[in-house]
Amino acid sequence: MKPVIDATHDAQRQSWVEAANAADCEFPIQNLPFGRFRSAAEDGWRIGVAIGDQVLDLQRTGLIDYTDMARLMQLLPEDRLALRRALSDGLTAGSAQQAAWSEALAPMSEVQLGLPCDIGDYTDFYVGIHHATAVGKLFRPDNPLLPNYRWVPIGYHGRASTVMPSGHAFMRPMGQLMGPGDTVPRLEPTQRLDLELELGIFIGRPNPMGQPIPIERAEQHVFGLTLFNDWSARDIQAWEYQPLGPFLAKNFASTSSPWMITLEALAPFRKAFTRAAGEPQPLPYLDNDDDRAHGAFDVALEVWLQTAAMRDAGHAGDRIASSNFADAAYWTVAQLVTHHTVGGCALSSGDLFGSGTLSGPLPAQAGSLLELSQGGKRPITLSNGEQRTFLLDGDTITLRGHCQRGGYRRIGFGNCSATVLPAPSGE
């Protein structure tokens, strides 16, 4: 599926929503991401499109007559593109739709933003080769990458029920810990709580059970990307993960940003997918010319940490890491979809894939504290003098992302943020 670049990406196009025209706006008219929102008086979610600092109620525009996001996500690629063009034309400065559509706008600050869609299933992958290598070196210095990594898109089935929208705090999890020299594990709150800088991939169109999705059609089943933080309890993980992989160390909380950036919006920010010299090429079912030509997404990513002391002092926090999806990922989005279904697995609208931690090749590009602190051996020092090896109660992590390329408007992903609360008291 070749990306389409058209008038909706024109950098000169301006909106009658003035906030969307600001140079630093994350949601200019060239973006138009989808999410869900509601007012304080509503129980049900409505489908919204972000434009500037406003949310456009899609049903009230008359372009759709439903509030079910799954139905919208199942649109054929050509119908999805037609909807994008209609939205762009209606929001363009001078549009005949301005008077009617202005009544369908609500300030983001006055509505509640939820998860972008109902999430039925969640699979977390491990596409970040620099992260996999760095973590492997901590535990297996002589053999950091296991033999299957370069051949199989590694993943595990996560817990959809604890995926939260940005802005929701979560409690430090309890679990079994087995420290050095211990002979019996103990149940305690994790002391090695970590973040994971990831992107989420939302499935739009389903496939029937038993019918794999070939790689040349894989992106037709993807609706869009979002920021994603798969919180991890590293000490619980170290004890429980053998032989079946993550369990309580991962199932307590994950955080998603509220907006799905569509593949149509990302079209100008595609790159060739290449592997370093000496790396094996994918098996034929995971390889095709289009995916090689533009299978990578140039998404710049950042991790920000704000401690409780910083918050009390009015300090916005420190950027502790940055990386890029295109530089970090060993597998493409299309390859993940194809591999997930090659055995006959049925995907559903709203299924979520986590990319896995997207660390770059340099130490400052690490997407987890496990890497930044070298397994807790080297604390990082923040601008106010505080130090961290892992997260403390009251810490807030915010992920940010954007795409930028000469000749096109910069588009953003919004924030993906959550704060750590103390572990439950047990009373």
- Catalytic residue annotation: 131
Residue pair 37/45 in contact (Cβ under 8 Å)? The answer is yes
Q: How, if at all, do strands 396-403 and 380-381 pair?
A: unpaired
What's the burial of 204, exposed, middle or buried (CB within 10 Å: 0-12/13-18/19+)?
A: buried
Residue pair 368/266 in contact (Cβ under 8 Å)? The answer is no
Query: Which tokens sit at 280?
Result: 């094996």
Whole-angstrom distance, CA of residue 417 vs CA of residue 303: 10
Q: How, if at all, do strands 261-262 and 222-229 pair?
A: antiparallel
- Count the helices and strands in the chain (H runs, E runs): 11, 26
Q: How, if at all, do strands 105-107 and 112-113 pair?
A: unpaired
Amino acid at 296: A
CA dihedral over 154, 233, 300, 6, signed as positive or negative: positive
Residue pair 419/404 in contact (Cβ under 8 Å)? The answer is no
Residue pair 160/121 in contact (Cβ under 8 Å)? The answer is yes
Query: Which tokens sit at 370?
Result: 């496990």
